Amino acid sequence: MMCPHTLYLGGNMTNKYYMPTRVIMGDDCITKNSELFIPLGKKALIVTGTQSAKRNGSEKDVKTALESVGIQYQVFDKVMSNPTISCVYEGAAFAQANDVDFIIAIGGGSPMDAGKAIALLAAQDIEEGSLFSGNYEDKVLPMAFVPTTAGTGAEVTQYSILTNDKAQTKTSIASDLLFPTVTFLDAKYTVHLGVITTINTAIDALAHAVEGMLSVRASSVSNALAVESIRMIMNCVPVMLQALQSGSEDVINLKQREQLLEASFMAGMVIAQTGTTAVHAMGYSLTYFKDIDHGRANGLLLGEYLKLVEMVRPDLAGRILAAMNFSEAEQFRELLSKFLGEKEEISSEEIDQYSKLAIQTKNIANCVVKPIEENIRTMFELSFAK
Protein backbone atom coordinates (compact mmCIF):
# COMPACT_ATOMS: atom_id res chain seq x y z
CA MET A 1 0.00 0.00 0.00
CA MET A 2 1.30 3.48 -0.78
CA CYS A 3 2.28 5.32 2.39
CA PRO A 4 0.01 8.34 2.95
CA HIS A 5 3.02 10.62 3.45
CA THR A 6 4.72 9.72 0.21
CA LEU A 7 4.20 12.26 -2.52
CA TYR A 8 4.90 11.19 -6.08
CA LEU A 9 6.16 14.18 -7.96
CA GLY A 10 5.83 14.71 -11.69
CA GLY A 11 8.73 15.62 -13.97
CA ASN A 12 11.23 13.86 -16.14
CA MET A 13 11.95 11.12 -13.69
CA THR A 14 10.00 9.37 -10.98
CA ASN A 15 10.62 11.12 -7.73
CA LYS A 16 9.17 10.89 -4.27
CA TYR A 17 9.13 12.84 -1.07
CA TYR A 18 9.02 11.11 2.30
CA MET A 19 9.67 12.86 5.62
CA PRO A 20 7.72 11.26 8.46
CA THR A 21 9.42 13.10 11.38
CA ARG A 22 7.34 15.51 13.48
CA VAL A 23 9.40 18.67 14.01
CA ILE A 24 8.82 21.04 16.95
CA MET A 25 10.76 24.31 17.04
CA GLY A 26 11.31 27.15 19.45
CA ASP A 27 12.37 28.28 22.87
CA ASP A 28 11.77 25.63 25.58
CA CYS A 29 10.04 23.41 23.03
CA ILE A 30 11.01 20.23 24.93
CA THR A 31 9.54 21.15 28.33
CA LYS A 32 6.52 22.83 26.69
CA ASN A 33 5.70 19.66 24.74
CA SER A 34 6.51 16.90 27.21
CA GLU A 35 3.26 15.07 26.34
CA LEU A 36 4.85 14.17 22.98
CA PHE A 37 7.03 11.63 24.82
CA ILE A 38 4.01 9.73 26.18
CA PRO A 39 3.13 7.74 23.03
CA LEU A 40 6.80 6.76 22.56
CA GLY A 41 6.94 4.45 25.59
CA LYS A 42 7.32 4.06 29.33
CA LYS A 43 11.10 4.00 29.70
CA ALA A 44 13.62 5.95 27.63
CA LEU A 45 17.29 5.52 26.91
CA ILE A 46 18.96 8.91 26.58
CA VAL A 47 21.85 8.50 24.12
CA THR A 48 24.38 11.31 24.18
CA GLY A 49 28.04 12.35 24.15
CA THR A 50 30.24 12.57 27.19
CA GLN A 51 29.87 16.24 28.13
CA SER A 52 28.09 18.81 26.02
CA ALA A 53 24.46 17.79 26.75
CA LYS A 54 25.13 18.15 30.47
CA ARG A 55 26.67 21.60 29.96
CA ASN A 56 24.19 23.15 27.52
CA GLY A 57 21.04 22.28 29.45
CA SER A 58 19.53 19.91 26.87
CA GLU A 59 19.87 16.75 28.99
CA LYS A 60 18.36 18.53 31.99
CA ASP A 61 15.37 19.76 29.92
CA VAL A 62 14.75 16.25 28.57
CA LYS A 63 14.85 14.78 32.08
CA THR A 64 12.50 17.50 33.38
CA ALA A 65 10.05 16.78 30.55
CA LEU A 66 10.19 13.01 31.14
CA GLU A 67 9.71 13.39 34.89
CA SER A 68 6.71 15.69 34.35
CA VAL A 69 4.90 12.90 32.46
CA GLY A 70 6.10 10.02 34.64
CA ILE A 71 8.48 8.40 32.15
CA GLN A 72 11.54 6.59 33.52
CA TYR A 73 14.95 6.87 31.87
CA GLN A 74 18.51 5.59 31.74
CA VAL A 75 21.48 7.46 30.26
CA PHE A 76 24.07 6.09 27.82
CA ASP A 77 26.59 8.94 27.53
CA LYS A 78 29.48 7.17 25.88
CA VAL A 79 29.06 8.24 22.26
CA MET A 80 32.31 9.52 20.73
CA SER A 81 32.68 11.61 17.56
CA ASN A 82 32.36 9.41 14.45
CA PRO A 83 30.72 6.59 16.45
CA THR A 84 32.05 3.07 16.09
CA ILE A 85 30.14 -0.15 15.48
CA SER A 86 31.15 -1.47 18.90
CA CYS A 87 29.72 1.68 20.55
CA VAL A 88 26.26 1.11 19.01
CA TYR A 89 26.23 -2.61 19.87
CA GLU A 90 27.18 -1.70 23.44
CA GLY A 91 24.38 0.90 23.54
CA ALA A 92 21.85 -1.61 22.17
CA ALA A 93 22.86 -4.21 24.78
CA PHE A 94 22.48 -1.55 27.48
CA ALA A 95 19.02 -0.64 26.08
CA GLN A 96 17.92 -4.30 26.17
CA ALA A 97 19.37 -4.93 29.63
CA ASN A 98 17.42 -1.94 30.96
CA ASP A 99 14.15 -2.77 29.17
CA VAL A 100 13.82 0.63 27.57
CA ASP A 101 11.15 1.01 24.91
CA PHE A 102 12.30 4.18 23.18
CA ILE A 103 15.42 6.24 22.46
CA ILE A 104 16.12 9.94 22.99
CA ALA A 105 19.30 11.12 21.25
CA ILE A 106 20.81 14.44 22.30
CA GLY A 107 23.86 16.03 20.69
CA GLY A 108 25.56 16.49 17.37
CA GLY A 109 25.43 14.06 14.46
CA SER A 110 27.44 11.48 16.39
CA PRO A 111 24.96 10.79 19.22
CA MET A 112 22.06 11.09 16.77
CA ASP A 113 23.59 8.54 14.38
CA ALA A 114 24.42 6.24 17.30
CA GLY A 115 20.88 6.67 18.66
CA LYS A 116 19.39 5.48 15.35
CA ALA A 117 21.59 2.38 15.19
CA ILE A 118 20.83 1.60 18.85
CA ALA A 119 17.07 1.96 18.19
CA LEU A 120 17.40 -0.56 15.36
CA LEU A 121 19.72 -3.03 17.13
CA ALA A 122 17.72 -2.99 20.36
CA ALA A 123 14.58 -3.99 18.43
CA GLN A 124 16.02 -6.82 16.33
CA ASP A 125 19.08 -9.05 16.15
CA ILE A 126 21.36 -7.97 13.33
CA GLU A 127 24.80 -9.52 12.91
CA GLU A 128 27.64 -7.10 12.39
CA GLY A 129 28.18 -8.48 8.88
CA SER A 130 24.62 -7.49 7.87
CA LEU A 131 24.51 -4.13 9.64
CA PHE A 132 24.83 -2.06 6.46
CA SER A 133 22.66 -4.35 4.29
CA GLY A 134 19.48 -2.30 4.54
CA ASN A 135 17.51 -5.55 4.84
CA TYR A 136 15.88 -5.41 8.22
CA GLU A 137 12.68 -6.57 9.82
CA ASP A 138 10.10 -3.82 10.19
CA LYS A 139 11.05 -3.20 13.81
CA VAL A 140 12.72 -0.24 15.48
CA LEU A 141 12.32 1.60 18.79
CA PRO A 142 10.61 5.01 18.52
CA MET A 143 13.05 7.92 18.62
CA ALA A 144 13.00 11.53 19.85
CA PHE A 145 15.94 13.71 18.79
CA VAL A 146 17.48 16.93 20.09
CA PRO A 147 20.23 18.30 17.83
CA THR A 148 22.75 20.51 19.62
CA THR A 149 24.94 21.31 16.61
CA ALA A 150 23.59 22.98 13.47
CA GLY A 151 25.05 20.86 10.72
CA THR A 152 24.23 17.24 10.09
CA GLY A 153 20.46 17.38 9.77
CA ALA A 154 20.49 13.82 11.17
CA GLU A 155 17.36 14.74 13.15
CA VAL A 156 15.34 14.46 9.93
CA THR A 157 17.24 11.86 7.90
CA GLN A 158 17.04 8.07 7.56
CA TYR A 159 20.83 7.68 7.72
CA SER A 160 23.08 6.49 10.52
CA ILE A 161 26.74 6.95 9.61
CA LEU A 162 29.20 4.77 11.48
CA THR A 163 32.94 4.26 11.41
CA ASN A 164 33.43 1.02 9.48
CA ASP A 165 36.92 -0.35 10.17
CA LYS A 166 36.45 -3.35 7.88
CA ALA A 167 35.84 -1.11 4.88
CA GLN A 168 38.25 1.55 6.20
CA THR A 169 35.70 4.32 5.79
CA LYS A 170 32.48 5.70 7.18
CA THR A 171 29.42 3.79 6.00
CA SER A 172 25.73 4.69 6.21
CA ILE A 173 22.90 2.51 7.31
CA ALA A 174 20.06 3.89 5.19
CA SER A 175 16.54 2.81 6.04
CA ASP A 176 13.19 4.54 6.40
CA LEU A 177 13.01 2.85 9.81
CA LEU A 178 15.66 5.32 10.99
CA PHE A 179 13.63 8.51 10.60
CA PRO A 180 13.14 9.83 14.15
CA THR A 181 9.54 9.98 15.34
CA VAL A 182 9.88 13.51 16.71
CA THR A 183 12.60 16.16 16.71
CA PHE A 184 12.92 19.19 18.99
CA LEU A 185 14.83 22.19 17.64
CA ASP A 186 15.81 24.68 20.33
CA ALA A 187 18.76 26.86 19.33
CA LYS A 188 19.60 27.89 22.88
CA TYR A 189 21.54 24.64 23.30
CA THR A 190 23.88 25.74 20.48
CA VAL A 191 24.72 29.18 21.91
CA HIS A 192 28.02 28.09 23.47
CA LEU A 193 29.08 25.83 20.63
CA GLY A 194 32.71 26.82 19.97
CA VAL A 195 33.72 28.86 16.92
CA ILE A 196 35.39 26.01 15.04
CA THR A 197 32.56 23.51 15.60
CA THR A 198 30.01 26.19 14.66
CA ILE A 199 31.84 26.83 11.38
CA ASN A 200 32.52 23.18 10.56
CA THR A 201 28.92 22.16 11.19
CA ALA A 202 27.56 25.13 9.19
CA ILE A 203 29.79 24.04 6.30
CA ASP A 204 28.41 20.49 6.60
CA ALA A 205 24.85 21.86 6.30
CA LEU A 206 25.91 24.00 3.34
CA ALA A 207 27.47 20.93 1.71
CA HIS A 208 24.19 19.03 2.17
CA ALA A 209 22.17 21.80 0.49
CA VAL A 210 24.67 22.24 -2.37
CA GLU A 211 25.19 18.51 -2.96
CA GLY A 212 21.43 17.99 -2.81
CA MET A 213 21.09 20.36 -5.78
CA LEU A 214 23.82 18.39 -7.59
CA SER A 215 22.17 15.01 -7.07
CA VAL A 216 20.37 13.04 -9.78
CA ARG A 217 17.53 12.75 -7.26
CA ALA A 218 17.06 16.53 -6.84
CA SER A 219 13.46 17.67 -7.28
CA SER A 220 11.71 21.03 -7.23
CA VAL A 221 10.82 20.41 -3.56
CA SER A 222 14.37 19.54 -2.48
CA ASN A 223 15.79 22.44 -4.52
CA ALA A 224 13.42 24.92 -2.85
CA LEU A 225 14.57 23.73 0.58
CA ALA A 226 18.22 23.76 -0.51
CA VAL A 227 18.14 27.29 -1.91
CA GLU A 228 16.53 28.66 1.25
CA SER A 229 18.99 26.76 3.43
CA ILE A 230 21.95 28.16 1.45
CA ARG A 231 20.55 31.70 1.76
CA MET A 232 20.09 31.37 5.52
CA ILE A 233 23.62 30.04 6.08
CA MET A 234 25.11 32.72 3.83
CA ASN A 235 23.27 35.38 5.89
CA CYS A 236 25.27 34.16 8.89
CA VAL A 237 28.64 34.19 7.07
CA PRO A 238 29.65 37.72 8.19
CA VAL A 239 29.05 36.95 11.86
CA MET A 240 30.81 33.59 11.61
CA LEU A 241 33.85 35.34 10.08
CA GLN A 242 33.70 37.87 12.92
CA ALA A 243 33.60 35.00 15.43
CA LEU A 244 36.62 33.44 13.76
CA GLN A 245 38.58 36.70 13.87
CA SER A 246 37.69 37.49 17.47
CA GLY A 247 38.04 33.87 18.60
CA SER A 248 34.72 34.13 20.44
CA GLU A 249 31.41 32.45 19.67
CA ASP A 250 29.61 35.10 21.76
CA VAL A 251 29.29 37.44 18.77
CA ILE A 252 26.78 35.01 17.22
CA ASN A 253 23.39 35.88 18.68
CA LEU A 254 20.42 33.61 19.36
CA LYS A 255 18.55 34.74 16.22
CA GLN A 256 21.55 33.75 14.09
CA ARG A 257 21.86 30.43 15.96
CA GLU A 258 18.18 29.81 15.16
CA GLN A 259 18.81 30.51 11.48
CA LEU A 260 21.74 28.10 11.41
CA LEU A 261 19.74 25.36 13.15
CA GLU A 262 16.77 25.82 10.84
CA ALA A 263 19.01 25.89 7.76
CA SER A 264 20.69 22.68 8.91
CA PHE A 265 17.33 21.00 9.45
CA MET A 266 16.20 22.08 5.97
CA ALA A 267 19.42 20.77 4.41
CA GLY A 268 18.81 17.50 6.28
CA MET A 269 15.39 17.28 4.63
CA VAL A 270 17.17 17.81 1.30
CA ILE A 271 19.63 14.92 1.68
CA ALA A 272 16.92 12.66 3.05
CA GLN A 273 15.48 12.88 -0.48
CA THR A 274 18.60 13.32 -2.61
CA GLY A 275 21.51 11.66 -0.77
CA THR A 276 24.94 13.29 -0.90
CA THR A 277 27.43 13.32 -3.78
CA ALA A 278 31.16 13.43 -4.56
CA VAL A 279 32.12 15.77 -1.73
CA HIS A 280 30.88 13.47 1.04
CA ALA A 281 32.28 10.44 -0.79
CA MET A 282 35.74 12.01 -0.80
CA GLY A 283 35.45 13.55 2.65
CA TYR A 284 34.90 10.23 4.43
CA SER A 285 38.53 9.20 3.76
CA LEU A 286 39.79 12.50 5.19
CA THR A 287 37.87 11.79 8.38
CA TYR A 288 38.70 8.09 8.57
CA PHE A 289 42.43 8.26 7.79
CA LYS A 290 43.40 11.80 8.77
CA ASP A 291 40.93 12.50 11.57
CA ILE A 292 39.71 15.66 9.85
CA ASP A 293 36.34 16.77 11.25
CA HIS A 294 33.39 15.82 8.99
CA GLY A 295 32.27 19.38 8.19
CA ARG A 296 35.82 20.61 7.62
CA ALA A 297 36.50 17.66 5.30
CA ASN A 298 33.50 18.65 3.19
CA GLY A 299 34.54 22.31 3.24
CA LEU A 300 38.02 21.46 1.98
CA LEU A 301 36.50 19.76 -1.09
CA LEU A 302 33.27 21.60 -1.82
CA GLY A 303 34.79 24.60 -3.63
CA GLU A 304 36.72 22.46 -6.10
CA TYR A 305 33.74 20.25 -6.82
CA LEU A 306 31.56 23.28 -7.54
CA LYS A 307 34.29 24.55 -9.88
CA LEU A 308 34.19 21.23 -11.75
CA VAL A 309 30.39 21.44 -11.98
CA GLU A 310 30.70 25.04 -13.21
CA MET A 311 32.81 23.83 -16.15
CA VAL A 312 30.46 20.99 -17.16
CA ARG A 313 27.06 22.35 -16.14
CA PRO A 314 27.29 26.14 -15.70
CA ASP A 315 23.50 26.35 -15.45
CA LEU A 316 23.46 24.07 -12.40
CA ALA A 317 26.39 25.79 -10.67
CA GLY A 318 24.81 29.16 -11.52
CA ARG A 319 21.62 28.32 -9.60
CA ILE A 320 23.62 27.42 -6.50
CA LEU A 321 25.89 30.46 -6.81
CA ALA A 322 22.87 32.75 -7.25
CA ALA A 323 21.54 31.57 -3.88
CA MET A 324 24.93 32.59 -2.43
CA ASN A 325 24.96 35.94 -4.25
CA PHE A 326 28.11 34.89 -6.09
CA SER A 327 28.73 34.87 -9.82
CA GLU A 328 31.66 32.41 -9.92
CA ALA A 329 32.55 29.24 -8.02
CA GLU A 330 36.01 30.71 -7.34
CA GLN A 331 34.39 33.30 -5.02
CA PHE A 332 32.86 30.47 -3.00
CA ARG A 333 36.15 28.58 -2.89
CA GLU A 334 37.86 31.71 -1.55
CA LEU A 335 35.22 32.15 1.13
CA LEU A 336 35.65 28.54 2.27
CA SER A 337 39.42 29.04 2.39
CA LYS A 338 38.94 31.97 4.77
CA PHE A 339 36.99 29.73 7.12
CA LEU A 340 39.35 26.77 6.87
CA GLY A 341 42.69 28.54 7.49
CA GLU A 342 45.84 26.50 7.13
CA LYS A 343 45.26 23.20 5.33
CA GLU A 344 46.56 19.78 6.31
CA GLU A 345 49.34 18.05 4.36
CA ILE A 346 48.30 15.27 1.98
CA SER A 347 50.68 12.96 0.07
CA SER A 348 50.21 11.70 -3.49
CA GLU A 349 49.97 8.13 -2.11
CA GLU A 350 47.13 9.23 0.16
CA ILE A 351 45.40 10.95 -2.76
CA ASP A 352 45.67 7.76 -4.83
CA GLN A 353 44.27 5.63 -2.04
CA TYR A 354 41.37 7.99 -1.23
CA SER A 355 40.49 8.48 -4.90
CA LYS A 356 40.22 4.72 -5.42
CA LEU A 357 37.93 4.44 -2.40
CA ALA A 358 35.76 7.42 -3.38
CA ILE A 359 35.15 6.31 -6.97
CA GLN A 360 33.56 3.05 -5.74
CA THR A 361 30.94 4.75 -3.56
CA LYS A 362 27.28 5.05 -4.40
CA ASN A 363 27.53 8.80 -3.79
CA ILE A 364 29.42 9.11 -7.10
CA ALA A 365 26.62 7.36 -8.98
CA ASN A 366 24.33 9.94 -7.37
CA CYS A 367 26.10 12.93 -9.02
CA VAL A 368 24.64 14.80 -12.01
CA VAL A 369 28.24 15.68 -12.88
CA LYS A 370 29.98 12.35 -12.28
CA PRO A 371 33.71 12.74 -11.74
CA ILE A 372 36.02 10.00 -13.02
CA GLU A 373 38.93 8.86 -10.84
CA GLU A 374 41.28 11.35 -12.50
CA ASN A 375 38.91 14.24 -11.65
CA ILE A 376 38.76 13.07 -8.04
CA ARG A 377 42.54 12.96 -7.82
CA THR A 378 42.77 16.49 -9.24
CA MET A 379 40.12 17.77 -6.83
CA PHE A 380 42.05 16.36 -3.87
CA GLU A 381 45.28 17.96 -5.16
CA LEU A 382 43.71 21.38 -5.74
CA SER A 383 41.78 21.29 -2.46
CA PHE A 384 44.98 20.89 -0.45
CA ALA A 385 47.18 23.17 -2.56
CA LYS A 386 48.78 25.78 -0.30
CA dihedral over 83, 88, 94, 98, signed as positive or negative: positive
Give which of Fe ion, ligand NAP, none residue 154 binds (C-beta under 5 to 8 Å, depending on kind).
ligand NAP
Ranges within 187-206 binding Fe ion (CB under 5 A): 204
DSSP state of 228: H
Beta bridge partners of 184: 24
Q: How far is the CB of 194 from ligand NAP (least distance, A)?
A: 6
Distance CA 317, CA 258 (A): 27
Contacting residues toward ligand NAP, per CB under 6 A: 49-53, 56, 81-82, 107-110, 113, 148-149, 151-154, 157, 159-161, 170, 189-190, 192-193, 197, 201, 204, 294-295
DSSP state of 327: S
Classify residue 27 as exposed, middle or buried by CB count within 10 Å of its CB (0-12, 13-18, 19+): exposed
Nearer to Fe ion, 182 or 271 (CB): 271
Give which of ligand NAP, Fe ion, none residue 307 binds (C-beta under 5 to 8 Å, depending on kind).
none
Is there binding between residue 310 and Fe ion (CB under 5 A)?
no
From the list 271, 331, 273, 270, the residue with the least C-alpha distance to 302 is 331
Give which of Fe ion, ligand NAP, none residue 257 binds (C-beta under 5 to 8 Å, depending on kind).
none
Q: How far is the CB of 302 from Fe ion (least distance, A)?
A: 11
Nearer to ligand NAP, 159 or 184 (CB): 159
- Find the helix packing angle between 195-213 and 278-290, rounded to 10°: 150
User: What's the CA dihedral at 92, 97, 100, 106 to 10 degrees?
Assistant: -50
Give which of ligand NAP, Fe ion, none residue 201 binds (C-beta under 5 to 8 Å, depending on kind).
ligand NAP
From the list 21, 3, 5, 34, the residue with the least C-alpha distance to 142 is 21
Nearer to ligand NAP, 15 or 149 (CB): 149
Q: How far is the CB of 170 from ligand NAP (least distance, A)?
A: 5
- Outline where DSSP puts E strands in 186-315: none
Nearer to ligand NAP, 204 or 310 (CB): 204
Interface positions with Fe ion (CB under 5 A) = 204
